[in-house]
Amino acid sequence: MNYRTLGKTGFNISDISLGTWQLGGKWGAPFDIKDATATLEEAYEQGVNFFDTADGYQGGNSEKAVGAFVKAHPDVHFTTKIGRKEEPLSTEHFNPEHLTRYVDESLENMGLEALDLVLLHCPPMSIYYTPETFFTMDKLKKEGKIKNYGVSVERVEEAIKAMDYDVSAVEIIFNMFRLRPSKLFFDLAKKNNVGILARVPLASGLLTGKFTADTKFGKEDHRTTNRHGELFDKGETFSGVDYMTGVKAAQELKQRLGTDNLAALALRYILMFDAVSAAIPGASSPDQIERNTVASDLPALKPEQMQIVQDVYDKYLKNPVDYLW
């Protein structure tokens, strides 16, 4: 495992970390604390020292599991996200009163005295033009409730606008099917010492290269229920890529890159960009951890391999993905 600095936080974190959206159970399945703890332990054994959670994941159970793990492993760092656990989503959820309450609730839920990093959870675009939202985070930081703050975003423009404020990190969708963030935003993040967490790094599993036209997902799985943005931004599911287009693109990547382990190569691709602090693939069970962590120690992609990724993106995905996010 290799480690990188997470922007202004100064945290030295594993470049393959763990997203906990599906911790302790697959989509739609009941939360299992034993599976959750075993998954966190296996990740730690593999060198992972950074975990990404949110107050709304698994009804708060993800936060509880991560909090307990952090208390038992003080060398571990984490981020939690706030602002989307109450529905319907409203700009009011990012006002000072709500943000203060959400931070207090996360502190209680995780059993901690301070939160390492708090990200505003994909706020509406208007929030980036509401300075009091970010001034509230400054106040919570001064009070010692949070150590750092940042944003989780849908669009590159939101990530760029967020850097008008004292953000330490930005979480953004970046993978072989979503290349636009690597342009202007990455350069600006490096200039501003803002860490980047690459989320949805395997495009909801498409970049494992294992899906086919006949692949079925659970009835409650967002890959069934959110293909057209029915539940939240459609870019969260398959990175906004049409499913069959993504299957074809993944198969071509496997063939042209000459690999049967596209997932690891896809994660290693993300790490080719030094602006990225970590990729945060998810795992619902311990046996999925090593599948991801091996990417950290793979050799760098060759220039011709990087060009293949660009070629496949341009052929299948740039229109419309590049223009939407």
Number of domains in the chain: 1
Residue 30 has a pLDDT of 84
Asked if residue 297 belongs to a domain, the reply is yes
Where are the strands (E) in 202-296, listed by range? 276-279
What gap in Å lies between CA 116 and CA 53, rounded to an integer?
Answer: 12
For residues 167 and 149, the answer to whether their CB atoms sit within 8 Å is: yes
Asked if residue 322 belongs to a domain, the reply is no
Under the banding of pLDDT at 50, 70 and 90, the label for residue 28 is: low
- Domain interval for residue 180: 3-317
For residues 52 and 79, the answer to whether their CB atoms sit within 8 Å is: yes
Put residue 258 in one of left, alpha, beta given phi > 0 → left and psi -120 to 50 → alpha.
left
What gap in Å lies between CA 273 and CA 7, rounded to an integer?
Answer: 14
Burial degree of 261 (CB within 10 A; 0-12, 13-18, 19+): middle
Mean pLDDT of 75-98: 96
Determine phi and psi for 292, rounding to 5 degrees.
Answer: -90, -45
Number of C-beta neighbours around residue 84 at 10 A? 19
Closest CA to 162 of 275, 76, 153, 199: 153
CATH code, 274: 3.20.20.100
Structure tokens at 89: 């989503």
163-216 confidence digits (pLDDT tens):
999 999 999 999 999 999 999 999 999 999 999 999 999 999 999 999 999 999
Asked if residue 324 belongs to a domain, the reply is no
Give yes or no for residue 247 having a pLDDT over 80: yes
218-230 confidence digits (pLDDT tens):
888 899 998 998 8
The vertex-127 CA angle with 194 and 134, nearest 5°, equals 50
Residue with tokens 């950074």: 50
Q: Tell me the pTM.
A: 0.96
Give yes or no for residue 255 having a pLDDT over 70: yes
Q: Which of 3-7, 10-14, 84-88 has the lowest mean pLDDT?
A: 84-88
Asked if residue 58 belongs to a domain, the reply is yes
Under the banding of pLDDT at 50, 70 and 90, the label for residue 27 is: low
Mean pLDDT of 122-136: 98
Which residues face 121 on adjacent strands?
152
Asked if residue 149 belongs to a domain, the reply is yes
40-50 confidence digits (pLDDT tens):
999 999 999 99
Asked if residue 95 belongs to a domain, the reply is yes
Q: Are strands 169-173 and 195-199 parallel, antiparallel or unpaired?
A: parallel
Determine phi and psi for 192, rounding to 5 degrees.
Answer: -95, 5
Burial degree of 92 (CB within 10 A; 0-12, 13-18, 19+): exposed
Asked if residue 21 belongs to a domain, the reply is yes
Closest CA to 205 of 250, 272, 265, 260: 250
